Structure 1
Amino acid sequence: MLTRTSPVSVPPAEQHWIDVVSDLAEGFAATVAADDRSGELPVAHLRALADSGLDAAFLPTSHGGEALSYTTLGTVVRILAAAHAAVAAVWLMHMGAAHALVTLSPPPAAAFFAEELKAGKRFSNALSEPAGGNFFLSSQQDVAPVDGGWLLNGRKMFVSGSEIADHFFLNVRVDGAPAFFGATVDDTVSFPPIDQTIGMRATRSRSVVFDGMLLESGRRCSAPAADYANLITVAFAFLSVGIAESALDAVKAYATSRPAGPGSTETLADASWVKSEIGLVWAEVRAARLLAEQTAWLADRKDPQAMANATEAKMLANEVAKKAAAVAVKVGGGSGYLERSPIQRIFRDAQAGALMAYSVPFSQEIVGGWVLQA
């Protein structure tokens, strides 16, 4: 795909991680169609990322990591999403949960979770609740106090990679206020039959039931520092940007290999209407990528505007991914609608970002309010 130089770049000392991920992503792309059809978690790919040392490298230096930059994080997610969106989504949720637990837990728990990540254990977010929607950070699940902590009985929704998770970053309501905990999977955890989604099938996002899980007081997380930027929030836009870039790559491959018409010596890519469609959407994808990169840049500077910028970036990237995928379907026509075409899978995957909290309609209202009140 055509690219332009960005004002935001991965630090030179971290570039080798981009090379590692790029090499791995080529292999991930080879199984993306099969993984989508089967709807099974791409465990081998997730393991390959952990085995490369990438997961541990994002830990703070105080816990033996390299404290890799948010710019590197976003670039990793974008590369993974372009190759295999489900891998990118599950990996980002895993890293976001692990990093939050190491950063926000009391020192003994933080050290434990850091060692677990370095040992290759899996993490996942259990935040969304039935009917919770965009208010996933404001739990409606009250927990009863018991010796050593609180007792959780309830259900969480859309927990990506939950079946292989060893630990959850979850939230409940304690004394009427939101509270976050690190919780280790035990026999109080069960998984109802999965309601398979139409896109990003291989994330196996599903419900998790907690039946009497003890939330230990020693694993209750503190409130984040004012300058703390959650990994998922910062990198969410890059997930959709990667999908949008894969849509452009797919439509280019199709259009340059198909004749413009019966007996024509030109390809579909030579048609004026195709060039016109692709030209505008490419600029929009580039704009979404630049806004996402600005979010990472702000987070690396510990700028308090990073989180607001992340909402704007996600909102734009979600919609641009849907538009890029729709253009790919338009150019691909009936061929792009066939199961064997990557276009139909990319189109389904592109819808997911706009539905994930904060959803696009919810974000539009928030951002619109900022603009009107400024």
Structure 2
Amino acid sequence: MTKSAQDLLVENEKLAKELLAVHADDIDRARRFPRQNIQELGRSGLLGLVVPLEYGGAGAGIPEMSEILERMAEACPSTAMVVLMHYCGTAVIAARGSATLKQSLLPAIARGEHLTTLAFSEAGSGGHFYIPVSEVRRNGHGLRLTARKSFVTSAGEADSYVVSTRKAGASGPTDLDLYLVAKGTQGFAVGKPFEGLGLAGNASAPMKLEDVELEEVKRLGSEGSGFETMMEVVLPHFQVGVAAVSLGIATAAFQAASAHVVARKYEHAGGTALAAIPRVQFLAAEMALELRSARAYLGETIRRVGAGDPEAMLDVLGVKARAAEAALAVASRAMTLGGGAAFGRRGGLERIFRDAQAASVMAPTTDVLKEFLGKACLGVPLF
């Protein structure tokens, strides 16, 4: 029986508490892909959250996705990032895949039997992941692609990859196509793991496509429509999703720091808790304001997207940047409040601090997003 979005929210809370949070530090320490977490999330139906109802999924949208990812990230950010990229890939398949492709994949995704992800970023365009430099080649035998994808989440772990590239004979940087490429496809290989500062368990690595044969039936959308799909489908899911992950990380930092200053007492001062110190209270207030304002902005962004507000794109651009900065601010203050205890692995703050760094440098970076937002505000063309 298919679970409703509301059922999945309840299931997510249970798994976050009883599974994800329990293994988060071990996953980080071992830089291990959270396979057990993904399998349990699949069995629960959570991997099918955004799969349409007619294919056995929950038929949920961006609001439910955001709520679920924030709670996941509070417990295990690496798992949340894997799931976010899976939701992005699933949304593209559901929105732009052919009837045959959707029928062959979406029910399996809904059952938790298929994990997908995005393979967009390329070394040639850096943080501008929406402008790949690779290009499809046509020959007498079909379509071929050679590309170097620089940062792919779930690299080698996902069952399929939504790959971006310039269409054959592209006349400009936004003449793009998206193709679904299966794991194990000849010429498709995983490079050395990235081993980033944070999000250590999300299996981020470069992937190489060497003269890979592409199938027309696995093109996602009509020829040349890839950029439009990025803007209309991928960008809202990704930007809101990363913002939700950042807020989950910030929430974990705030809770850990608050628990520490309440419990930590000075014997030499008659058992006075750190929480009684005005400076500590000031820092806690700053953390709360960062968290609450960023969450309010995320909620407003989701509302505008759902309402079809013509200015929603401004907030879609801004929300990832705002949430990333909030996560950095909260995590930094949490480390200050944690003192020496925060710099060791016990208590989790050290891991949370590292995880909080990711969103600001994850393409599109905070600086690139502010450039876009500034251009939009001033009426300057984005591209």
> Which deviates the most, 223-232 or 114-123?
223-232
The one-letter amino acid of 2:57's match is G
CA 356–290 in structure 1, closer or farther in 2 if over 3 Å, else same? same
CA drift of 1:303 comes to 3.6
Shift of 1:240: 0.5
The answer to whether 1:123 aligns with 2:122 is: no
1:316 aligns with 2:322: yes
User: Residue 152 in 1 paired to residue 151 in 2?
Assistant: no
> What is the deviation of 1:228?
4.7
1:200 matched to 2:191? The reply is no
Question: 2:154 maps to what in 1?
Answer: 161
Tell me how far apart the structure 1 counterparts of residues 122 and 76 of structure 2 sit (CA, whole Å). 27
CA offset digits 1:16-68 (Å, max 9, x no partner): 22111000001210111111000010111111111111222421234333321
CA distance, structure 1, for counterparts of residue 58 and residue 263 of structure 2? 44
Residues 1:131 and 1:56: Cα distance change in structure 2 (over 3 Å): same
TM, length-normalised to structure 2: 0.89
Deviations 1:86-106 (A, max 9, x none): 010000101111221221122
The verdict on how the C-alpha distance between 1:301 and 1:113 changes in structure 2, with shifts beyond 3 A counting, is farther
- Match for residue 359 of structure 2 among 348, 353, 360: 353
Q: What's 1:69 paired with?
A: 61
Aligned to 1:337: 343
Q: CA deviation at 1:370?
A: 2.9
Equivalent residues, number: 362
Q: 1:302 to 1:48 in 2, by over 3 A?
A: farther
Amino acid across the alignment from 2:14 = D
Deviation, 1:305, is: 3.5
**Contact persistence 2:332–2:353 (CA under 8 A):** yes
How big is the shift at 1:214? 1.2
- Give 1:41's aligned residue: 33
Change (3 A) 1:135 1:148: farther
Cα separation, partners in 2 of 1:260 and 1:273, compared to 1, 3 Å = farther
Contact 1:329 1:343 in 2 (8 A): yes
Check 1:227–1:303 CA distance in 2 against 1; reply closer, same or farther (3 A cut): farther
Unaligned runs of 5+ in 1: 1-12
Q: Which of residues 165, 180, 183 is equivalent to 1:182?
A: 180
Q: Given that residues 50 and 90 in structure 2 are in contact (C-alpha distance below 8 angstroms), is that contact kept between their aligned partners in structure 1?
A: no
Q: Deviations over 1:296-351 (max 9, x none)?
A: 22333344443331221111100010000000111112221112231111110000
Q: 1:264 to 1:215 in 2, by over 3 A?
A: farther
Are 2:285 and 1:275 equivalent residues in the alignment?
no
CA-based RMSD of the aligned residues comes to 2.0
Percent identity of paired positions between Structure 1 and Structure 2 = 24
CA contact (8 A) 1:126 1:156 kept: yes
2:106 aligned residue:
114
Going from structure 1 to structure 2, the CA distance change for 1:143 and 1:372 (only over 3 Å counts) comes to: closer
Residue among 21, 31, 50 paired with 2:12: 21
Q: Deviations over 1:233-267 (max 9, x none)?
A: 33221110111101101101211121146343211
Of residues 315, 320, 332, the one that matches 1:326 is: 332
Give the aligned partner of residue 4 of structure 1. none
The corresponding residue for 2:260 is 254
Larger deviation: 294-303 or 149-158? 294-303
Q: Contact conserved, 1:244 with 1:321, CA < 8 A, in 2?
A: yes
**Once the 2 structures are TM-superposed, how far is the Cα of residue 170 of structure 1 from its aligned partner?**
0.8
Normalising by the residue count of structure 1, what TM-score does the alignment of the two structures yield?
A: 0.91
Shift of 1:227: 6.3
SS of 2:213's equivalent in the other structure is: strand
Q: What CA distance in whole angstroms lies between the structure 1 residues aligned with 2:150 and 2:213?
A: 19
Q: Shift of residue 155 of structure 1?
A: 1.6
Question: Letter of the aligned partner of 1:239 in structure 2?
Answer: V
Cα distance in 2 for partners of 1:96, 1:147 equals 33
Paired residues of 2:246 and 2:323 also in contact (CA < 8 A)? yes
1:284 to 290, 302, 310: 290
Residue 126 of structure 2 corresponds to: 133
CA distance in 2, matches of 1:188, 1:350: 35
* 2:73 corresponding residue in structure 1: 81
